[in-house]
Amino acid sequence: MQETNPSLPWMRKLLQVKLLRFLLVGVLNAAFGYGCFAGFLYLGLHYSAALLLATVLGVAFNFKSTGALVFGSNNNKLIFRFVAGYGVVYGTNVVGIAALKLLGVEPYLAGMALIVPMALLSFVINNRFVFKYA
């Protein structure tokens, strides 16, 4: 059966690019994570505690969405590597927010400014360390 929409094969090929899938899933994950972070800041938590809680809440959701939709993995045994990778991202993110705060940037904006760099760091960690053999 011939497809009637000529853009579908092009879109299908584009979605085969792992980094693009990661970024698309990452938008959903980032919205969830930043929403939690901002909510915890609003409740009065210190930015490091707010980030820690948002990270903890996002790990299970992100593990399943990233593993299945980006890397084609349903291997639950990789959760320990995934958590270790998140630990690296969390530590880097806290240092980044602290550095930006020293420059006078509010934690809300600092967290938002670091979304893309942390997403790229997360992709490298997941692609090379967590789901490398998936």
Residue span of the structural domain in which 110 resides: 18-130
Distance separating alpha carbons of residues 58 and 52, to the nearest angstrom: 10
What is the number of structural domains in the chain? 1
Tokens representing residue 64 in the block: 């399943």
**Residue 27 included in any domain:** yes
Could you report the per-residue pLDDT of 51-62, keeping only the tens digit for each?
899 988 888 888
**Residue 126 included in any domain:** yes
The answer to whether 93 and 58 have CB atoms below 8 angstroms apart is no
DSSP string computed for 97-124 = HHHHHHTT--HHHHHHHTHHHHHHHHHH
Q: What pTM does this model have? A: 0.71
Find the largest Cα–Cα distance for the chain.
61
**Residue 80 included in any domain:** yes
Determine the pLDDT at residue 101: 97
**Residue 103 included in any domain:** yes
Q: What value, to the nearest 5°, has the Cα angle with vertex 130 and ends 125 and 131? A: 110
Could you report the per-residue pLDDT of 8-51, keeping only the tens digit for each?
676 566 667 788 888 888 888 888 888 999 999 999 999 999 98
